Amino acid sequence: MRFRIQHLQWLGGIVAAAACVALGGLSLQTNFADHARFQRGTEQLARFHSVLVAAHAISAERGPANGAMGGAEEKQPMLTAALASKRAETDSRIAAMEASFAGERGRFAEIDALQSDMLSRLAAGRRAVDAVIALPSVERSGTPIRTAIEAMFAAADASATLRDRLGREIVAGTPQVATHVLLNSIAGNLREETGRLGSYVVMQLSADPDQRRRLEVQFVATRARLELMWRALASYAGAVLPDIGVDEAITAVERDYFATALPYAESVIRETSLGTAPDADAFTRVYVPGMRPVELLRERIATTSRATMEALRHQALMLALASLLLTAVAIGAIVVIAVIFRDGLFHPLLHAHRQIVQIARGDLSDPPPIRNISAEVRTMFASLDLLREQQRQRLQLEEDQRLMSEALRHLSETDMLTGLLNRRALTEAAERALYESDRHGAPVSAILFDIDHFKAINDGHGHAVGDLVLKTIAHSLRAVAGADVAFARHGGEEFLILLADAPKDAAIALAERLRLAIEAMTVDTMPGLRVTSSFGVATRTAGAMMSWEELVARADRRLYRAKQEGRNRVCGSDEQPAAPRAATAETTWFPQMAKAAR
């Protein structure tokens, strides 16, 4: 019997050791694989950064080019020298980019073609700039300057295309750097758009009145793109890259560019029509320093991305070494215990075996304490606890990834401006509500409303005020409608509310409360602005052969009726009013014209 127990002890030791080797080997393999991936990601981010730097250099070359083309004659030697220095710097950045991809880029014919196109467009842009500089100062205006700047735009666009193509290659080979590549790309685009906005101002300074109108449209469109990119970058850069330097760089961009340089560019646009605007060189010397924080933000994001990837690589290496060490310690402890303390440690070894099997099966709960064991055995169990904690951390990382996916899904269902549901998300909620309505016999109502004379608000106060009105309405009405109500921005200035299990009278009552809330609402920075809205309410009874689109269309018709009857009211019926008012220019519009009048 004693002989069999000893053999069972050895067998238990062998099984425990094999399990330790299996778990340690699996952990070691995983950590070394992570280390290799993060190492690859670090190298790829460095290559991608060289592309960003080259693209930025091409974009930044427009500053001295604009100054040289639009500066005074007496400053021409100094401006031309500054342009030559900037071009040399650009060529150096491009050479560094080519060197970083020397061993890989040749594998992709498309990338080679894009690089050739970028260099060709850059050369063409420089020739166009030199042609303008060669003209007498009195002839450097209008079309020649615009043509040269647009040629440099084409070079910047070609570099952006090359950057995006290389970015896709990097993400395809190293998916874990996708978020960093995206943030770096947005930061690069933000820098390009700030430079492009300044170039539009330079073109305005020498353009004729017809060209100025077209350039003003391009200026406004570029500013809108800047706002969108800035909101995305400011929202997510600090979360993805939790670094105080990134937060400080974001604050500097907000202060020095969006609060200082951008308003200055807008003021120069206004002064152009009055004939009091500065020349291109004077504008550039004031505007370009305001772009510096944008460049610093791009560099900070790139540096922090590489540092983050390097930290992950180092962490994976340390975890691999820890796994190797812990596995060796566990096996050594098992061998020593089996050889020296066979009978006295047999029971603890059985417990150790059960714990290892539990970890292998994914059960990471803390085991019950084992009493009366030696210090050596206690060390072994501590090692198992450390291995268990490591597995818990791995599961926690997987949970964090799941939560991040949920957050991205939420973003895909949310309107960026107002924070409400977007049209697609509300449609999905409506389909579920109609299904539940037919199952339980409950009515479903839709409230569609828009802002009266919203075009006049945009035209009279600017699109920034219009956006503020939309955000204020979304914020104010969310509390009135209730947290459980599906509330979405339907498009433009239209909002749509889905009310599940809501009869017509309740929907009309809620619409009236919302109308009164909008009428009483005040808009920040515009306390004298009065905003009203018109509402259309439609209800679908359970089992009715009516789709969500038909229900919304009915609410839309009633919204038109509310508009025709004088605006700032709720219409919940298709019936004509009992005492129609006298026909006016507003109420006699054709239905297809009503939406344009909103």
Tens digit of each residue's pLDDT (9 = 90 or more) over 331-381? 877 776 666 655 556 667 777 777 788 788 777 788 887 776 767 677 877
- Range from 62-76, 104-118, 224-238 that averages highest in pLDDT: 224-238
Q: What is the mean pLDDT of residues 79-92?
A: 88
- Comparing 414 with 163, the larger pLDDT belongs to 414
The conformational region for residue 275 under phi > 0 = left, psi -120 to 50 = alpha, else beta, is left
The band of 531, judged by pLDDT with boundaries at 50, 70 and 90, is very high
Q: Is the pLDDT of residue 590 over 60?
A: no
Name which CATH class applies to 423-597.
alpha beta
Tokens 């054709």 -> residue: 590
The band of 301, judged by pLDDT with boundaries at 50, 70 and 90, is confident
Residues in the chain: 598
- Range from 56-70, 387-401, 510-524 that averages highest in pLDDT: 510-524
Residue ranges of the domains in the chain?
2-23+317-412, 24-316, 423-597
Burial class (CB in 10 A: 0-12, 13-18, 19+), 585: exposed
Cα(197)–Cα(204) distance, rounded to whole angstroms?
Answer: 11
Whole-number pLDDT of residue 448: 96
Contact predicate 183/195, CB 8 Å: no
Dihedral sign for Cα 386, 391, 397, 399, please. Answer: negative
Q: What is the mean pLDDT of residues 51-76?
A: 78
Give, to the nearest 10 degrees, the angle between helix 143-173 and helix 62-70: 180
The band of 255, judged by pLDDT with boundaries at 50, 70 and 90, is very high
Mean pLDDT for all residues in the chain: 81
Q: Is the pLDDT of residue 185 over 70?
A: yes
Q: What is the mean pLDDT of residues 128-143?
A: 77
3-state secondary structure 399-444: HHHHHHHHHHHHHHCECCCCCCECHHHHHHHHHHHHHHHHHHCCCE
Cα(484)–Cα(494) distance, rounded to whole angstroms?
Answer: 20
Tokens 């950045």 -> residue: 93
Q: Is the pTM above the cut of 0.85?
A: no
